[in-house]
């Protein structure tokens, strides 16, 4: 039994249709709910974008800033490395 999804990918690989055209055909054929489910399954839906936005500025310092605060910055690491 042939998988038609594989056939669609083969058509793109053989150059019979561009990837952009195949994507357009698929999106036009799929229902809005299908597209929403596909985006969500691949973590590209709005709910994942909102989570990413929240992670960007959570008010906490990043690990580099924490290191700088704890150990006095790059200069102290360089002087430590010179001692050994």
Q: 23 or 65: whose pLDDT is higher?
A: 23
Cα distance between residue 67 and residue 48, in whole Å: 29
Alpha carbon 61 to its chain centroid, in Å, reads 22
pLDDT digits (tens, 9 = 90+) for 36-83: 999 999 999 998 887 665 556 666 766 767 767 777 765 555 554 555
């Amino acid at each position: 039994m042939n998988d038609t999804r594989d056939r669609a990918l083969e058509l793109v690989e053989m150059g019979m249709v561009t990837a952009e055209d195949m994507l357009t055909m698929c999106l036009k054929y799929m229902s809005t709910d299908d597209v929403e489910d596909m985006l969500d399954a691949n973590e590209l839906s709005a709910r994942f974008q909102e989570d990413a936005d929240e992670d960007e500025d959570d008010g906490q310092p990043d690990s580099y800033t924490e290191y700088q605060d704890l150990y006095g910055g790059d200069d102290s690491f360089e002087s430590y490395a010179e001692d050994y």
